[in-house]
Amino acid sequence: QVQLVESGGGLAQPGGSLRLSCAASGISVRTNVMGWFRQAQEKERELVATISSGGGTNSADFAKGRFTISRDNAQNTVHLQMNSLKPDDTAVYYCYAGYAGRNYWGKGTLVTVSS
């Protein structure tokens, strides 16, 4: 069974940083498309960033220059480093995996940016 477990969410001040982690099991983060999505209150889920099996990354415009997706192949874990956080970044962040033609999602971790 594919499982994605997020961690690292919490409260940050505007301008602060958080590092989210997604521990994957039943799937290799190295050989599959991995990513992060987020969903703010009363908004639709939106893509934050993805990383391909070749290591290439793609980010949403709001994330460019602030958020960095990476993976640790040895730990089979995907990370999202979030810097220069803004209140608009407040959302539930979900880990994503594309595997065998299916989409897999973690349960999400809440990020709140507030002073």
Q: Where are the beta strands (DSSP E) in the chain?
A: 3-7, 10-12, 18-25, 33-39, 46-51, 57-59, 67-72, 77-82, 91-99, 102-105, 109-113
Decide: 104 and 5 in contact? Cβ < 8 Å: no
Alpha-carbon gap, residue 76 to 14, rounded angstroms: 30
Query: Please, what is the Cα angle at 63 between 109 and 24, to 5 degrees?
Result: 40
Residue 100, pLDDT score: 87
Q: Beta strand 46-51 with 57-59: parallel, antiparallel or unpaired?
A: antiparallel
Alpha-carbon gap, residue 29 to 24, rounded angstroms: 7
User: pLDDT tens digits, residue range 47-63?
Assistant: 999 999 999 999 999 99
Decide: 95 and 79 in contact? Cβ < 8 Å: no
pLDDT tens for the chain, 115 residues long, are 999 999 999 999 999 999 999 999 999 999 999 999 999 999 999 999 999 999 999 999 999 999 999 999 999 999 999 999 999 999 999 999 998 899 999 999 999 999 9
| 115, two tokens | 């002073």
